[in-house]
Amino acid sequence: MTAKIGLEIHQRLDTRKLHCHCYANPSEDKADFKPDLVLRRRLKAVGGELGEVDAAAAYEAAKKRVFEYQVDPRFSCLVESDETPPEELNGEALQAVLGIAKALNARVVDEAHVMRKMITDGSAVSGFQRTTLIATGGFIETQKGKVGIQSIALEEESAGIVEKGHGKFIFRLDRLGIPLVEIATAPDVKDGEHAKETAEILGRVLRESGLVQRGLGSIRQDLNISIDGGERVELKGVQDLRLLPKIIGIEIERQKKDGVRKGGETRRIIGEQSEFMRPLPGAARIYPETDIPHVRITRELLEKAVVGEKSADKVTRLEKLGLGEQMAERLAFSKELPLFERIYAKTSAEPTVIASALLESLTSLRREGIATEKISEQQLSGLFSFFAEGKIAKAAVAEILRELPSGKGAGEIAKEKDLLKFSSRELDALVASGKGFGEIMREYRLRVDAQELQKKFKP
C-alpha cells in the first residue's frame, strides 16, 4: 500500500509585523516579555463567502472556551488586539517572499490578494488569520527527483500559547502577526528519509535568503499524509527533522489500522505519535479581507526581489577572508553572519577573531547566564576597532566581552581591568629582565600576543 506525502514549512521572517509596524522575535525576547494588559474573548464560527460554515472552525467554536491574551505594548498594538483595522501588506516581507519564490523556481501571481482564514482555536484574537498567495508551481531538486512546490504564501503567525488546561487558555500577542512564509509541497515525497531531505533543502533556501528569524520555534514543519483510498491527514508541529521518518512510518501504520474520519483530520504531533485535534478545514474557511488593498506584482517589484546567496558561495567567500573550513561553514549557516560582515566592514579586524568571539565566546557567556543580549552592535564594533588598532591582545577580547553588558566601552574596560597590550618597548624590558617566554605568557597572557613575544626571543 502506497502513501501520498507532502510537507508544509512555516518560517518567520525577520521584519516588522505583516499588517502593523510592531516588531517581535519571541525566540530572543521571551525573557523580556512583560504583559501590561490582559484581553478576554470568546470566538464563534461564521459563514464564509458563500455562507457555508467551515467544519474545523465550527468544531473548535462549539467548545465555547474563553481565551485570555497577554499584551506587552512594546511587541503588539491595537491591530493584534483586533481593535483597529490592519495596515497594508508589509512591503519588506513581500520582497522577501518574492525572492524565496524565485529561488524555488515558482510562478508569481499577478496580484496579491489578502484573504481571511477562519481560526477559532484562540490563536488569533480576531478569529481569523490573514494569508496571501504569492506564487505557485515551483520545484526543488532532491536525490530522489523533483519535488513540486504547490504554493508559497505570506501569512500572519499565530499567538503563542502560554497556558492551557481545565478550560483555561492563555496566549501572548508578541508572536501574533509576525510575517510567515508558508511553503506547501506537492505530494511528491516518497518516504520518511525523503521528507527529511526535502525539509532540509527548503530550510537551507530560507536561511540563504538572509531575511528569516532564527531560534527555537521560528520554523515549523507540518505533514500531509494519505494512504490509497483514504482521506488526508494533516500532522501539525514537527519540530525535529530527525523524527520525520519515524513519525511518517507510525502515521501510515495508524491509518492502515484505524482509518481516517470522513473529510480528513488535523492531528497534533506529541513525540512520535499524534492525537486528534479537529476535522480537516476546507475552502469554506477562506474569504476576502476587505480592509486591505490588493498589491499588483509588477516587473519592477520582482526585479527588486533578491535571491539569497547560496551557502556554498558564502563558505567560499569566508574562506578567502582567512577563516578555516569548519569555522567558515559554521558562520555561513549562523544567524551571526550579517553582524560579522558589518563589524568586519567597519573595523577590518582579523576575521577569525571576530568570528570566534561571535560564535564561541558569546555562546559561552550566555551559558554562564551573562546577559549578552544587552551588548549593542556599537559596543562590539568599538571592541574590534580597539583590537584592530593594536591596543589589546587577542586573549583580552573574550575578557572585555564579559564586561560589555555593563554598558561601558572597550577602552574603559581595558583600562579598569589592566588589559591594555604591552608596547614593543615594554616587551623588550620584560625580555631583558631575564624572564623566559613561558613565564611571561603565564603571567601576562591577556596583555601579550604570543607571536609578537616570540619574535623578541629570536636571535
Bridge pairing between strands 233-238 and 265-270: parallel
CB environment 135-151: b (16+ within 10 A), e (fewer): bbbbbbebeeeebbbbb
Would you say 360 and 394 are in contact if contact means Cβ atoms under 8 Å apart? no
Residue 268's domain spans which residues? 3-302
Q: Does 188 fall in a domain? A: yes
Distance CA 352, CA 325 (A): 11
Determine which of 5-19, 99-113, 309-323, 443-457 has the lowest per-residue pLDDT on average. Answer: 443-457
Same domain, 148 and 40: yes
Which grid coordinates are listed for 37? 494588559
Average pLDDT, the chain: 90
Q: Does 268 fall in a domain? A: yes
Which grid coordinates are listed for 86? 490592519
DSSP alpha helix (H) spans, 209-350: 244-258, 299-304, 311-320, 325-332, 337-347
Rounded to the nearest 5°, which phi and psi values hold at 96?
-60, -45
Residue 350 backbone zone (phi > 0: left; psi -120 to 50: alpha; other: beta): beta
Would you say 54 and 48 are in contact if contact means Cβ atoms under 8 Å apart? yes
Q: Does 219 fall in a domain? A: yes
Contacts of 281-284 with C-beta under 8 Å, sequence gap 24+, read 281/54, 281/55, 281/56, 281/57, 281/118, 282/54, 282/55, 282/56, 283/48, 284/47, 284/48, 284/50, 284/52, 284/53, 284/54, 284/55
Q: Which neighbouring-strand residues pair with 8? A: 184, 222
DSSP alpha helix (H) spans, 46-141: 55-61, 91-103
Q: Does 428 fall in a domain? A: no
Same domain, 246 and 318: no
Same domain, 242 and 327: no
Q: Residue 217: pLDDT band by 50, 70, 90 thresholds?
A: confident
Q: Does 435 fall in a domain? A: no
Domain count, the chain: 2
Check residue 1 and give its pLDDT.
65
Q: Does 396 fall in a domain? A: yes
Same domain, 202 and 88: yes
Check residue 24 and give its pLDDT.
92
Q: Does 153 fall in a domain? A: yes
Chosen domain end from 269, 302, 335? 302
Same domain, 154 and 271: yes
**Between these two residues, 208 and 294, which has the higher pLDDT value?**
294
Same domain, 231 and 319: no
| Angle in degrees, CA 254, 258, 262, rounded to 5 | 110
Percent of the chain residues past pLDDT 70, beyond the cut: 98
Same domain, 290 and 317: no
Same domain, 321 and 221: no
Q: Residue 175: pLDDT band by 50, 70, 90 thresholds?
A: very high
Determine which of 109-118, 209-218, 398-407, 446-455 has the lowest per-residue pLDDT on average. Answer: 446-455
Chosen domain end from 302, 328, 359? 302
Same domain, 149 and 249: yes
Kindly tell me if the per-residue pLDDT of 311 is higher than 90.
no
Same domain, 213 and 238: yes
Q: Does 443 fall in a domain? A: no
Residue 166 contacts by C-beta under 8 Å, 6 or more apart in sequence?
Answer: none
Check residue 438 and give its pLDDT.
76
DSSP label at residue 317: H
Cβ count near 7 (within 10 Å): 25
Check residue 31 and give its pLDDT.
54
Same domain, 186 and 295: yes
Distance CA 4, CA 208 (A): 29
Same domain, 53 and 184: yes
The alpha carbons of the chain give a radius of gyration, in whole angstroms, of 27
